[in-house]
């Protein structure tokens, strides 16, 4: 995508044939508390703690500002979501480092603590949701629609909550490639020499990490064994097929990276611009390595605008917010509940790739083990 957001390793993954639907540096003054309502907002674990939604809205409007970080406007429809939030509540949003990583988000919480420019909320890969919770840098908060989110997609205390997800897919420009691959195994083909790329470094970018995990599943690996995926990319690198550069709209349009492994909603978002410039961009969810994942929302424990942070979460998990993610081609965390009660946008839902099956989720230990294995083996196997 034009602004490919690099997400750090470690999401909740879904393996096998599945249906996801089922389941900066600067000095600054210390952050102001925004009055008594903002002080109480710092410890509010629900809107009810502030006296209800009207009271939360009033407190957030008094603060008048929300700091987000690492949210490209063309990632899961975040641009429109931010614009709609500002229109709805009159609260200005500052999006710092839109091309940053989950690592950058967590680092900003720590390094900018006490500053008014510090991030209020983050949207991170699952491993950083888990590690941030262990480091106690997030605030517990349960949105009004808490019950609509499956237990497997949220922290029991509200420390983090998954917001949207998607499948690893293969994007391909048919104007630069004679036959586009539809499976991960097909990537190991001399025809694709110098043509296959990822959304960044798998050691830092969550989408890239997940792509490696998907290729592991396609090559005899499992949620307990990512090594076959690392070995597969080692083979692609040795054969000159894998190009270790971050794929962007510019590299795709220039022909430098005509085949890209990325989330399906991000690959799909590239089609309009690429095809308008003469490309023939197509997207396939590979049949031999189904892997999907969710990202997670969390509120900084040190948020300079704690009421606005909590109102942002309420908005993202409202029907409007969840359908907003769906408009961006991502699967909302509340999809099952919204499908059941009829509040989901059926026309948008129908545009998603149809994938059937029963989802299985890795344990925290599996996610951590996969991340550690990649950290230990990637450089020597692929970059060495």
**Residues 236-271 pLDDT 10s:** 999 999 999 999 889 999 999 999 999 998 898 888
Pairing of strands 259-263, 121-124: unpaired
* Whether pLDDT at 4 is above 60: no
H or E segment to which residue 167 belongs: strand 161-173
Where helices occur in the chain by DSSP H, the ranges are 36-41, 53-63, 78-89, 102-111, 126-134, 206-218, 227-238, 249-254, 264-276, 306-316, 319-327, 335-341, 346-349, 364-378
- Find the range with the poorest average confidence among 35-49, 141-155, 288-302: 35-49
The predicted model gives 340-356 an average pLDDT of: 87
Q: What is the pLDDT of residue 343?
A: 98
Q: Is the pLDDT of residue 305 over 70?
A: yes
pLDDT score of 318 = 98
- CATH topology assigned to domain 22-164+293-349: D-Maltodextrin-Binding Protein; domain 2 (3.40.190)
Question: With pLDDT > 90 as the criterion, what percentage of the chain qualifies?
Answer: 72
Mean local confidence (pLDDT), 309-328: 98
Cβ–Cβ under 8 Å, residues 304 and 116 = yes
pLDDT at 19: 41
- Which residue intervals of the chain bear CATH 3.40.190.10? 22-164+293-349, 167-290+362-383
Q: What is the mean pLDDT of residues 151-172?
A: 94
Fold classified for 167-290+362-383 = D-Maltodextrin-Binding Protein; domain 2 (3.40.190)
Q: Is the pLDDT of residue 274 over 50?
A: yes
Residue 133 has pLDDT above 70, yes or no: yes
Q: What does pTM read for this prediction?
A: 0.80
């Amino acid at each position: 995508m034009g602004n490919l957001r690099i997400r750090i390793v470690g999401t909740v993954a879904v393996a096998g044939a599945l249906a996801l639907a089922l389941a900066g540096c600067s000095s600054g003054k210390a952050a102001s508390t925004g009055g008594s309502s903002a002080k109480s907002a710092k410890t509010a674990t629900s809107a009810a703690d502030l006296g209800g939604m009207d009271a939360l809205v009033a407190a957030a409007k008094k603060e008048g500002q929300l700091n987000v970080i690492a949210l490209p406007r063309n990632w899961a429809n975040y641009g429109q979501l931010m614009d709609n939030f500002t229109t709805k509540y009159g609260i200005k949003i500052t999006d710092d480092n839109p091309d940053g990583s989950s690592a950058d988000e967590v680092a900003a919480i720590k390094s900018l603590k006490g500053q008014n420019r510090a991030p209020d909320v983050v949207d991170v890969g699952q491993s950083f949701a888990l590690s941030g919770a262990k480091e106690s840098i997030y605030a517990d908060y349960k949105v009004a629609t808490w019950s609509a989110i499956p237990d497997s997609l949220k922290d029991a205390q509200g420390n983090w909550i998954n917001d949207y997800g998607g499948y690893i897919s293969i994007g391909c420009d048919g104007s630069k490639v004679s036959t586009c691959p539809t499976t991960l195994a097909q990537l190991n083909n001399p025809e694709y020499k110098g043509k296959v790329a990822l959304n960044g470094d798998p050691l830092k970018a969550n989408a890239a990490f997940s792509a490696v995990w998907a290729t592991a599943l396609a090559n005899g690996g499992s949620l307990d064994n990512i090594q076959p995926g690392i070995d597969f990319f080692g083979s692609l690198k040795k054969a000159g097929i894998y190009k270790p550069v971050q794929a962007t709209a510019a590299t795709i349009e220039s022909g430098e990276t005509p085949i890209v492994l990325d989330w399906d909603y991000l690959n799909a978002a590239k089609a309009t611009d690429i095809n308008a410039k003469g490309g023939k961009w197509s997207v396939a969810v590979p049949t031999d390595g189904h892997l999907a994942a969710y990202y997670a929302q969390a509120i900084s424990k040190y948020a300079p605008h704690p009421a606005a942070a909590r109102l942002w979460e309420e908005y993202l998990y409202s029907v409007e917010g969840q359908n907003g993610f769906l408009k961006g081609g991502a699967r909302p965390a509340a999809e099952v509940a919204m499908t059941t009660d009829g509040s989901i946008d059926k026309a948008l839902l129908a545009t998603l790739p149809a994938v059937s099956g029963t989802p299985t989720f890795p344990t925290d230990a599996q996610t951590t083990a996969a991340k550690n294995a990649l950290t230990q083996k990637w450089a020597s196997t692929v970059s060495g």
